[in-house]
Structure 1
Amino acid sequence: MQYDFTSINDRRAIGSRKWSIVPDEVDPLNDKMYPLTIADMDFAPVPEIKTALQSFVGHNILGYTAPTPSYLQAVCDFFEKQHQVTLDPEWIVTTPGVVAALAAAVRAFTREGDKILIFTPVYPPFYRVIREQGREVVKCPLVIAQDGMYHMDFANLESLLSRENIKLLFVCNPHNPAGRVWTATDLSRLAKLAQENNCMVISDEIHADLTYPDIAHTMYFKALTDFTEAAMVCTSAAKAFNIPGLQTSNIFIPRSDLREKFQNELAASGIQPANILGLYATEVAYTQALPWREEVLQVIKTNYNLVRDFFANLDNRFEVMPVQASFLAWVNCAKFGVKREQLEAVFRAVCFFVADGADFGSEGDYYFRINFGLPTAELKACLDNFAEKISPYLHSIE
């Protein structure tokens, strides 16, 4: 490969949220006890982005800034090439991250007490930005079909939309935590139901650019009859190019009235546009770093296969849901037949640092989410270490 996908560093000294979970007495690099929780990747920075930022900082004032015409065009060109959808630069509103955009959208497009629908289990901030702002969460649980993957329950969705007066609907596309890529048919049915029930749809597509090569990702806009429908799509280079700390997202809102409401809410809340370094890094990512993205896709697909096969061989009571995008696997432990608190305690005891499925909703109580975005050799060593340490516990509950 052209790029470095083998180096790994202990990131605790720089305040990494993911690495801070590792206790001080653990030496993660030597002990092969890596944090596999928060969704960023432990690969060396993209060289094109790193070099460009070093040069930029060396020659420019780091002041308040706004997206340049070249930036906006680069973003639209990227989506036209990679997702086959033509977007207007005027539709873009930049924000310091997708979660900030979701929270602002809740305030802009709903009132306290309004109902917002989510497909569960799902990324924990979906719950927080709704509940903590005085709105009501309406859950439409995903169902597991014979293919072992999540599917939308359209009968339930239609029933909820028709009787609950839902104002807003969040969809995670691809889905987090399961890496499920919704099909064009799924999204078209969703868009039709939303339109019929006067419900706005917000699609979080932050993981879209890590869809596996053999899977087709459909941007939500492609499911619309036209751009007069109430819709907003949240995008970012954060996941695909491993720059989430730069807190930069591009929010597409085609309808000018909705875009104005959203922008007014950002201003009223004091939420600033994306920062100067994040904007520049995003433009570089979309124009110069596509070869890196192609290689990292190969690595994470290899890593997914490693995770899937590892748990199948370790104990078939672990069930890894098929993954179609990104570097997160959703693993079911229900077949062990023990309380989730017992499993959680065992994982803590053996220093297996993964995300607790309960944080994604009650539907995730017997799951954990594992981040496999790290060098393949290090991932294998970490999993092998886990297998050795957990073996006595597994035998004790046979």
Structure 2
Amino acid sequence: MMKYNFDEIIDRRGSGSVKWDFGEKLKAMGFTERFDDDTLPLFTADMDIAVPPPIVNAMHRTADQRIYGYTMAPPAYYSAVIDWFERRHNWSIRQEEIVFCPGTVHAVATAIRAFTEPGEGVIIQRPVYYPFTAEIEGNGRVVANNQMILNDEGYYSPDLEDFEKTAQKPENRLFILCNPHNPSGRIFSNTNLKELSRICAKHNVLIVADEIHGDLIRKDSEFVPLAKVADSTGHILTCTAINKTFNTAGLAATNVVISDPVLRKTFLRTLGNAMPSPFTYNAVIAAYNECEDWLEELKIYLDGTIDWVLEFLSKEMPKVKAFRPEGTYILWMDFRGYNLAAEEIRKRIYVDANVILESGTMFDPDSGSGFERVCLASPRPMIKEAFERIAAQFTE
């Protein structure tokens, strides 16, 4: 029997939640055509699951101090981060290598501005988390796409030959690695990681490794940080966070690990004065020091939800292809077997079923049509209702 109740449904309306409280804005943006009191939003990658009690308690203790002035992360903050990665990933990092940043997208944008010039290229691997594209183009840089290879079973892998051709172009100076891969949930093999790192080092391409889903892996999978497996780390910046692991995205707590002091200085100069709030640093300390048992139960729960969804799809919607994600709580679904236009697929899900997902073209404008991303980090009763609604719109 589980200690924690992940089936508890918490009403998030009125909390400022991006996915629950801004339906009119989502409609105005063209994200969905329908949003009402019956809508089930399963798009933004945060959980509809309560954070671990020790984090809640830490927030209460911080609030009770009644003064929320300027703060800096204390030694206990760095010890919690260092101990976590040593204990969970056998990865040794030093305090001076850790740079606090208010969010992972913020960290990626900072790296783009710090290490590239307008008009230069940034390599990404589509389909991939679409804010990468937004930050590249929004900062006047150019997307250099190294398309992931999709096999018949729904597994993605990097195209290493094309990657080297892309990396050797002198205008491409930065590579954003997403591992575990979002949206496919694929964990890059050690062999692929070593080769990607080798190619980048050879061609003087820096790597920003987004590894914030690295704690959320399946029981039969293993995640290894790039900086641990790479032959050298001087060209690697690793983004880590409690945000996905413990459902604290609103606290904006990302730690960027930069071993090279020159790169670190350049990154800090571009970042500016970034300090964690007292709520943020206390949440990090509580998460890494007191919430390991909660995470282990959460992983079991997520595995069960993913297994249920995949079995449901195989029985009720066999034309949908979905690869069991090795990491993350995200599922990438291929609806192309229905031979329907993307607009019709979208209408049946978003309007008729009243479930909001994320269209594949957001992650891959050229090859994403017919795919949908769903976030499965909600109480299982909510997930079951959503998929039953969707299946009802695809009966033949």
TM-score by length of structure 2 reads 0.93
Would you say the 8 A contact 1:95–1:248 is kept in 2?
Answer: yes
Question: SS at the partner of 2:174?
Answer: strand
Which deviations, in whole Å up to 9, do the C-alpha atoms of 1:138-196 show, x marking residues without a partner?
00000013553100000111111123542000000101111111111110010110111
4+ runs deviating over 4 angstroms: 21-25
Aligned counterpart, 1:321 = 323
What is the distance in 1 between the residues matched to 2:66 and 2:259? Answer: 33
Q: Is 1:289 the counterpart of 2:300 in the alignment?
A: no
| Alpha-carbon distance in structure 1 between the residues aligned to 2:292 and 2:198 | 34
Distance 1:354 1:320 in 2: 15
> How many Å apart are 1:12 and its aligned residue?
2.1
Deviation at 1:334, TM superposition (A): 1.3
Q: Does the residue aligned with 1:14 lie in a helix, a strand or coil?
A: coil
Q: What does 1:182-193 align with in structure 2 at a 5 Å threshold?
A: 182-193=188-199
1:318–1:332 contact (8 Å) kept in structure 2: yes
The count of corresponding residues between Structure 1 and Structure 2 is 384
Deviation at 1:378, TM superposition (A): 2.5
Q: Distance in 2 between matches of 1:136 and 1:313?
A: 43
**Counterparts of residues 21-36 of structure 1 (less than 5 Å):** 26-28=36-38, 33-36=39-42
Q: Secondary structure at the match of 2:333?
A: strand
Distance 1:372 1:22, change over 3 A: farther
Alpha-carbon distance between aligned partners in 2 of 1:25 and 1:278, rounded to the nearest angstrom: 32
Structure 1 residue 349: Cα displacement: 2.1
Q: How does 1:112-261 map to 2 (within 5 A)?
A: 112-163=118-169, 165-227=171-233, 229-261=234-266
C-alpha distance in structure 2 between counterparts of 1:369 and 1:25, whole Å: 18
Q: Is the partner of 2:4 in helix, strand or coil?
A: coil
Q: Structure 2 unaligned runs (5+)?
A: 25-33
In 1, the alpha carbon distance for the partners of 2:355 and 2:251 equals 28
In 1, the alpha carbon distance for the partners of 2:349 and 2:380 equals 21
Query: 1:64-75 alignment to 2 at 5 Å?
Result: 64-75=70-81
* Cα distance, 1:25–1:156 mapped onto 2, change above 3 Å: closer
Report sequence identity in percent.
29
Aligned to 1:111: 117
- Whose helix proportion is higher, 1 or 2? 1
The code of the aligned residue for 1:143 comes to I
How large is the Cα RMSD of the aligned pairs?
1.6
Cα 1:51–1:360 change in 2 (3 A) is same
| CA distance, structure 2, for counterparts of residue 344 and residue 293 of structure 1 | 34
Distance between the aligned counterparts of 1:69 and 1:258, measured in 2? 23
**Structure 2 residue 309 is the aligned partner of structure 1 residue 304:** no
1:279 Cα deviation from its structure 2 partner: 1.2
Query: Could you tell me how far 1:60 is from its partner in structure 2?
Result: 5.3
Q: How does 1:349-364 map to 2 (within 5 A)?
A: 349-350=351-352, 351-362=354-365, 363-364=367-368
